[in-house]
Structure 1
Amino acid sequence: MSEQASQPGPVRQDGEAPRRTVVVLAAGLGKRMKSAKPKMLHEILGRSLVGHVLAAAEPLAAARTLVVVGAAADQVRAHLAEVAPAAEPVYQAEQRGTGHATRVALAEAPDVSGTVVVLTGDTPLLRPDTLAELVRVHEEADNAATVLTAAPADVSGLGRIIRDEQGHVTAIVEERDASPEQRAIREINSGIIAFRAADLRATLAELTADNDQGEEYLTDTIGLLVKAGRRVGGYVAVDATETLGCNDRAQLAQLAALLRDRVNGAWMRSGVTMVDPATTWVDVTVTVGVDAVIEPHVQLRGATTVGSGATVGPDTTLVDTEVGAGASVVRAQAQSAVVGPECSVGPFAYLRPGTRLHRKAKIGTYVETKNAEIGAGSKVPHLSYVGDATIGEQTNIGAATVFVNYDGVRKQHSTIGSFARTGADNMFVAPVQVGDGAYTGAGAVIRRDVPPGALSYSGGPQKVVERWTLTRRAGTPAADAAAAALGEPAAGATNDTPGVAAGGTAGDPGETAARPSDASGQPGSWTATGIEDPVPGTGSGTSA
């Protein structure tokens, strides 16, 4: 669930909002991720780490947003162009610390004034409201800098915030340098700081790399500001998890689980039922309607929308898919599909891109669709492939139907009209049209158009070779069962001529002892050569 944006910060006495600049530090490769992909581009809940940070900063209405890139800069630039085109990449050729990265960013923006908010690109749980409050506190107090702090349960390895009696921040002490008294402090530095632009620029010029890592640290600016007599404030994040960073895959999974719980909690408080939130993953870009029910083991990804009163799951993945109000999608996978109101999908269905189901349409068990439009009330109940096809309203597609859409060179489209009934095991060889109210018989291969109201079937009469099992499979349980049904003793002999029944000759399988046809010779009576359907091709096998 997208988080509600906070209102911009205070207005100056001259009536104008303070000018703001956001700097996002995203130059690190993230070696501990052990990935060819830059750390900042790894995703949780449908958005990259740096994408989450940029989204949190958006309500600040910054005049400029500068993103410092370094390792795999081309990949990060391309990603920024896609997800945050207003952001300006700034290249840091050498990764020489957070202070150096900030100085590189400001060198690209020499006219920056007002408030500069420096963010780390790997803190995806940061909330817009928290950033807005940090900036509000900073600007109302007219601080030289204001540090976003937190009080997590585990403070090991983290820099401690030292405050004076007035509550002003006087120092950030790294744990390795802290005294026992300072180590007992529970307030820690998040690495996120709002600065007055002029003070930031002045202190960045004084930074040195005189430390074990040989880097310029942004946190050293706090000590320099205090030494210069400038006031530094601190704002404590209400939720300490917001300041958590990501350095490896284990932390990535931890952050994903925390964000999942936050997002799911927001949806449930908004009227959505989640039967098992721990196995429900909803991207931050997804929307879900009131009274929707999300069953266990569901993933809703990308631009997916779920309408009011719809049921999704269990065991369902929807990507960029629209589910209408009151629809049901069970044990299915869908991508770039539209499921209309009150439709039924699944179980075990696969809706591929371009699928569109109109109101009350049904896609049943083991059905795959692609670039297919299914009209209102129409049904494809089982075991079928519907690709590059349009099906009208209130039409029933028989089981095991395949729309044969590919001739080895190109894919072509077929159309089935409204109120049509197609037989089981049909093949529609594209391009072909079946008109409104038409029927097709079971097993039909439809290669030519079928006019409205017509019946189309294919194949000759059914052939029957009587006593075949007794002669060709003598001694088997099937032959014994047939003999018993015919009231004959089981035979042990086997005819070694394939396809020839007892009393017949090669190439003449139908000349057997057969039941006599009736005197009228009407279709449907047994003959030496087979049996015909009284109305050829109407054994459609269609199913609701």
Structure 2
Amino acid sequence: MMNRYAVILAAGQGTRMKSTLYKVLHPVLGRPMVQHVINQIKTVDLDQLVTIVGFGADQVMEDIGSESQFVVQEKQLGTGHAVQQAEGLLKDKDGTTIVVCGDTPLITGETYQALFDHHEKTGAKATVLTTTAPDPTGYGRVIRNDDGEVERIVEHKDATDEELQVNEINTGTYCFDNQALFHALKKVSNDNAQGEYYLPDVIEILRNNKEKVSAFLTPNHSETLGVNDRVALAQAEKIMKKRINENHMRNGVTIIDPDNTYIGPDVIIEQDVMIHPGSIITGSSTIKTNAIIGPHTEITNCTVGEETVVKQSVAKDSQIGNRVQIGPYAHIRPEAQVGNEVKVGNFVEVKKSTIGDKSKVSHLSYIGDANVGSNVNVGCGTITVNYDGKNKFLTTIEDEAFIGCNSNLIAPVTVGKGSYVAAGSTITKDVPGDSLSVARARQTNKEGYATKLKNRKQD
């Protein structure tokens, strides 16, 4: 196999996005567009990857990191000029160079592989990835000769009326013989409506030199969508969502309403999981077999165990065990560790806490900075009071303790194994094991006093 190189064009500002965020960093299902491109193009076993950056170069390089080498295009003078910036890294190398745009997040690794294989099999100096578009407005047209070979590519603004009738379009993705590419780039002119150096002009230059130019027509037009504005961004999101959801369903996941279910590209979902409408699962989340998610649940960077139910709740950056019941309307905040067979009920918030197996926090409670043992019952309205305005402190509730309703546990404090805290207590000192702690004002009844108060109001 020939050496393979890739150049990703990511220098444009994307003015039509009308955003302070650079175009290629706009996310599709939570991942920047350019990262989708990188992840797919790397599946073809590249020898070298170069990304051309310009506007927002520092931010783009920071987001991509060590996955690519970078070259800065100081002035945006067109796609041909952009590729030329990689000359210092690639010009002396033999092999095939693919050029892709950083705003085409939907092209799959399979398509890139097929393009490489077609290019190398035909022995062409250049191969254009093309597709047929129902509405080709704005796209460069692929003009073929009588033998069906690619003769040239004409940008929409420079096309004649006859050329505008062509619906085979240039997707902006190409394979080139690397040496031929950089030799032809030196001959590209900016004599056009935009005054820019167009990469497609390389096609005509190679043709004039009697070199073979091929085209690989992909039947999947939607895959080649280029994102230039927010409308196209929403279209890309919809296509990507459909692709991901269908893949999970084919692998044994039940998604009741795929149109209203959002699953990120890095999410792992095992067989026989059921996902209800309105659910959003993103980041590096893993959902284990027979779990039930939703409806209207948001899960980010979490592991959700087998047979666990999470409904109408939010969970982030946490570990949730097997056969757990969460919700409705619970909030599992970062660094929570929820054990097996735990119940976290309605309007319960858990933050940076561990809850042991078979414990219950059924409703209207806040568990923050706490270690809760196994078989613990936390009554309604319980609060671990963890913050003094400056520092956070730990609450420890040991195994088999029972916390009565409307209790305040003022950290740092420990409730010992098997102990009871009476309802309405404010606990400020450690509770020994197997003890009952009562920390509330003594009740006083003043008989007949209510009548006296009523008479006073009437006077």
The TM-score normalised by the length of structure 2 is 0.97
Is the aligned partner of 1:107 residue 2:107? no
1:355-374 pair list within 5 angstroms: 355-374=336-355
CA contact (8 A) 1:405 1:430 kept: yes
Larger radius of gyration: 1
Is the aligned partner of 1:41 residue 2:25? yes
Structure 1 residue 35, shift from structure 2 partner: 1.1
CA contact (8 A) 2:374 2:399 kept: yes
Structure 1 residue 431, shift from structure 2 partner: 1.1
1:419-434 pair list within 5 angstroms: 419-434=400-415
Aligned to 2:435: 454
Is the aligned partner of 1:413 residue 2:394? yes
Q: Count residues with an aligned counterpart.
A: 459
CA contact (8 A) 1:167 1:233 kept: no
Aligned to 1:14: none
Inter-CA distance 383–202: structure 2 relative to 1 (3 Å threshold): same
1:371-520 pair list within 5 angstroms: 371-474=352-455, 494=457
Is the aligned partner of 1:80 residue 2:64? yes
Structure 1 residue 344, shift from structure 2 partner: 0.7
> Which residue, out of 292, 299, 306, partners 1:325?
306
Deviations 1:9-32 (A, max 9, x none): xxxxxxxx3111100000000111
Structure 1 residue 369, shift from structure 2 partner: 0.8
For residues 494 and 100 of structure 1, what CA distance do their matches in structure 2 show?
87
For residues 453 and 263 of structure 1, what CA distance do their matches in structure 2 show?
53
Structure 1 residue 163, shift from structure 2 partner: 2.7
Deviations 1:18-69 (A, max 9, x none): 1111000000001111111111111011210111111110112211111001
- Helix, strand or coil for the counterpart of 1:225? helix
For residues 356 and 243 of structure 1, what CA distance do their matches in structure 2 show?
42
Structure 1 residue 173, shift from structure 2 partner: 2.8
Aligned to 1:196: 177
Inter-CA distance 189–473: structure 2 relative to 1 (3 Å threshold): same
Is the aligned partner of 1:130 residue 2:114? no
Structure 1 residue 110, shift from structure 2 partner: 3.5
Deviations 1:53-110 (A, max 9, x none): 11110112211111001111111111111xxx13011001110000010011123333
For residues 137 and 281 of structure 1, what CA distance do their matches in structure 2 show?
35
> Which residue, out of 311, 327, 333, partners 1:352?
333
1:37-76 pair list within 5 angstroms: 37-76=21-60
Structure 1 residue 178, shift from structure 2 partner: 4.4
For residues 157 and 355 of structure 1, what CA distance do their matches in structure 2 show?
50
AA in 1 matched with 2:15: K
- Helix, strand or coil for the counterpart of 2:227? coil
For residues 406 and 160 of structure 1, what CA distance do their matches in structure 2 show?
64
Is the aligned partner of 1:149 residue 2:130? yes
Inter-CA distance 495–440: structure 2 relative to 1 (3 Å threshold): farther
AA in 2 matched with 1:70: G
For residues 343 and 133 of structure 2, what CA distance do their matches in structure 1 show?
50
Aligned to 1:542: none
Aligned to 1:511: none
> Which residue, out of 132, 149, 162, partners 1:168?
149
Deviations 1:482-522 (A, max 9, x none): xxxxxxxxxxx6598xxxxxxxxxxxxxxxxxxxxxxxxxx
Aligned to 2:234: 253
CA contact (8 A) 1:27 1:69 kept: yes
Deviations 1:457-486 (A, max 9, x none): 112431112222222024xxxxxxxxxxxx
AA in 2 matched with 1:429: I
AA in 2 matched with 1:249: R
Deviations 1:113-147 (A, max 9, x none): 20000001100111110000000111111110110
- Residue identity (%): 38
How large is the Cα RMSD of the aligned pairs? Answer: 1.5
For residues 126 and 331 of structure 2, what CA distance do their matches in structure 1 show?
54
Deviations 1:326-352 (A, max 9, x none): 100011111101111110111111111
AA in 2 matched with 1:466: E
Structure 1 residue 237, shift from structure 2 partner: 1.5
- Helix, strand or coil for the counterpart of 2:234? helix
CA contact (8 A) 1:106 1:112 kept: no
AA in 2 matched with 1:89: F
CA contact (8 A) 1:304 1:322 kept: yes
CA contact (8 A) 1:160 1:188 kept: yes
Could you tell me which runs of 5 or more consecutive residues in structure 2 were left unpaired when the two chains were aligned.
Answer: none
> Which residue, out of 285, 290, 297, partners 1:304?
285
- Helix, strand or coil for the counterpart of 2:348? strand
Structure 1 residue 245, shift from structure 2 partner: 0.7
- Helix, strand or coil for the counterpart of 2:351? strand
Structure 1 residue 168, shift from structure 2 partner: 2.5
- Helix, strand or coil for the counterpart of 2:347? strand
- Helix, strand or coil for the counterpart of 1:24? strand
AA in 2 matched with 1:98: T
CA contact (8 A) 2:128 2:216 kept: yes
CA contact (8 A) 2:277 2:294 kept: yes
Deviations 1:365-421 (A, max 9, x none): 111111110111100001000000011111100100000111222111111111111
- Helix, strand or coil for the counterpart of 2:195? coil
AA in 2 matched with 1:469: A
CA contact (8 A) 1:333 1:349 kept: yes
